Amino acid sequence: MRCPKCSHIQSKVIDSRPMDNGASIRRRRECLNCHERFNTFEKIEQTPLLVVKRDGTREEFNAEKLLRGIVRSAEKRPVSREQMDELVHQVEEQIRSEGDQEIDSRRIGEFVMPLLLELDEVAYIRFASVYREFQSREMFLRELESMQKESQDHASN
C-alpha cells in the first residue's frame, strides 16, 4: 500500500477492525520509510449485478438508488433510516442469493414489497403506486382491498 505522505510502497499493518457487519475491514498502517500512519479499507469485490429495466435496457444494480425510492415512500412516516438500510441490505442479499448476473427490475420490487409492508402500510402503498404504476383510483382501491383481505385472513388464523 503506497504511503500518502512519501509514496513509499511498503507499510506494516498495526491494527485491523471489521466494519459494516463484517463486510469490510479497516486497517491502520504505518509506512516503513517515513513512519506516517494512515488507514486503508478492504471490501469484498462482488461481481456486478445487472438490472434489466422494463424497457429492456440494463444498468448496474445500485443499492443507493433503491434506498432513495424507499426513503421517498417512507417520507414523514415512522420508519427509521436504520430500518430502511436493513431493508435494502435484505433485498440485496435476496438478489445475490439467486445467483444470476442479471435480475429483472420487477423481481426487485417483488422483494421490496413484503418487507416494506411489514414496516409501514402507507410506505408500502406509496411504493406500490410507483412500482405497479397505478393509473387510476380503482387500481389504488384494489390494492387497499387486497391488503384489507390479507389482514383479515391473518387475523382469522
Its domain, for residue 115, covers 50-156
pLDDT for 100 equals 85
What is the DSSP code (8-state) at residue 17? E
Q: Determine, yes or no, domain membership for 33.
A: yes
**What is the distance between the alpha carbons of residues 100 and 96, in angstroms, rounded to a whole number?**
7
pLDDT above 70 for 14: yes
If asked whether residues 34 and 68 sit together in one domain, one would say: no
Q: Are residues 78 and 27 in the same domain?
A: no
Q: What nine digits make up the cell of 152?
A: 383479515
Residues 118, 152, single domain; the answer is: yes
Residues of the chain above pLDDT 70, percent: 98
Residue 69: all three cell numbers together: 425510492
Whether 98 and 75 map to the same domain: the answer is: yes
Q: Which is it for the CA torsion 139, 124, 127, 23, positive or negative?
A: negative
How many structural domains compose the chain? 2
Do 18 and 81 reside in the same domain of the chain? no
Would the pLDDT of 61 be above 80?
A: yes
Whole-angstrom distance, CA of residue 102 vs CA of residue 78: 33
The answer on 59 and 31 residing in a single domain is: no
For residue 157, what pLDDT is reported? 66
**pLDDT higher at 31 or 146:** 31
Average pLDDT of the residues in 29-39: 97
Judge if 63 and 123 occupy the same domain.
yes
Strands 102-104 and 50-52: parallel
